[in-house]
């Protein structure tokens, strides 16, 4: 199990971000703006953030301070104007500083939540932000809507076969060609994370697990998940991939692994915590 110093979120590891809902009276001239169009963020030619709000943006929301500088989020309603361009957040890992990638994930979740909850889901009235906490409230019926999280559990299953360490890795139909990862799925209402780990593995691979051990967690803003990663030991069963969910699942020797997820993903850290660092991305 890793300690809190290794968690990947914008509120730890000295990344310098302090979230806040209490917007200042004026936008500072050196403010940082995270402006999104869908799942893409607006960046300059050197992959830097704009320090002025683009004129063709809407839905400004105050996020807090990054190393003493105001941070705002907004949504682009037109085309990106030169010299700025739009970049998919997931593909920026390793190309921008860690603080920017992590802050971008937080900003995207908040901006998307703010965009999709401008109106009450109960009565349709316009909701209002609360200065004291991150919530939108309906003045008509009193409904309060907080940013949502979808917890997901990831399990890396291992076994010994003729003295060799093997890892169970799975392919989703959405993965890039040749890539495999640890099994993962969403926690359902009414169940614990541990129960979800057993259920997901059984449903998607037909395998039983034992000795479930917590590894670490990671906010995963695509669009609003929280990934909780575990390792476990094989406890029986023959692999039967769940149709529509798992394209392929198999045991891999630790010395002969397939293409793995990029280093932005907790899946890569989970796998490397067992087999050691792998070369490449």
- Domain spans of the chain? 4-116, 150-275
Residues 151-189 have pLDDT tens digits of: 999 999 999 999 999 999 999 998 999 999 999 999 999
CATH code reported for the domain at 150-275: 3.90.79.10
Per-residue pLDDT 10s for the chain (281 aa) are: 333 334 456 666 567 899 999 999 999 999 999 999 988 999 998 999 998 888 888 999 999 999 999 999 999 998 888 889 999 988 898 899 989 998 999 999 999 999 999 999 999 999 999 988 999 999 999 999 999 999 999 999 999 999 999 999 999 998 999 999 999 999 999 999 999 999 999 999 999 999 999 999 998 888 889 999 999 999 999 999 999 999 999 999 999 999 999 888 899 999 999 999 876 55
Cα 29 from Cα 87, distance rounded (Å): 24
4-116 matches 150-275 in fold: yes
Q: Are the beta carbons of 53 and 32 closer than 8 angstroms? A: no
Residues 89-100 have pLDDT tens digits of: 888 988 999 899
Cα 162 from Cα 253, distance rounded (Å): 11
Cis ω for the linkage preceding 83 (within 30 of 0): yes
- Which pLDDT belongs to residue 13? 53
The domain 4-116 is placed in CATH, from the list 2.10.260, 3.90.79, 3.90.1750, 3.40.50, at 3.90.79
């Amino acid at each position: 199990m890793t300690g809190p110093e290794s968690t990947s979120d914008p509120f730890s590891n000295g990344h310098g971000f302090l979230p806040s809902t209490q917007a200042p009276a004026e936008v500072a001239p050196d403010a940082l703006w995270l402006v999104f169009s869908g799942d893409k963020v607006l960046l300059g030619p050197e992959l830097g953030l704009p320090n002025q709000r683009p004129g063709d943006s809407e839905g400004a929301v105050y996020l807090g301070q990054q190393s003493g500088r105001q941070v705002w989020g907004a949504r682009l309603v037109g085309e990106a104007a030169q010299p700025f361009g739009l970049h998919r957040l997931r593909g920026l890992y390793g190309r921008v500083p860690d603080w920017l990638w992590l802050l971008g994930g937080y900003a995207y979740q908040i901006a998307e939540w703010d965009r999709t909850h401008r109106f009450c889901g109960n009565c349709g009235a316009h909701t209002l932000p609360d200065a004291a906490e991150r919530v939108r409230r309906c003045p008509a019926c009193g409904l309060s809507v907080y940013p949502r999280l979808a917890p997901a559990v990831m399990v890396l299953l291992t076994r010994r076969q003729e003295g060799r360490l093997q890892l169970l890795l799975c392919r989703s139909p959405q993965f890039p060609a040749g890539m495999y990862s640890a099994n993962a799925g969403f926690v359902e209402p009414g169940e614990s994370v541990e129960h979800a780990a057993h259920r997901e593995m059984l449903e998607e691979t037909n395998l039983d697990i034992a000795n479930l051990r917590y590894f670490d967690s990671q906010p995963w803003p695509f669009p609003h998940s929280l990934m909780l990663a575990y390792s476990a030991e094989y406890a029986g069963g023959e692999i039967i991939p769940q149709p529509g969910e798992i394209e392929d699942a198999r045991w891999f020797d630790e010395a002969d692994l397939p293409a793995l997820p990029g280093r932005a993903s907790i899946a890569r850290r989970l796998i490397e915590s067992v087999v050691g660092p792998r070369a490449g991305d």
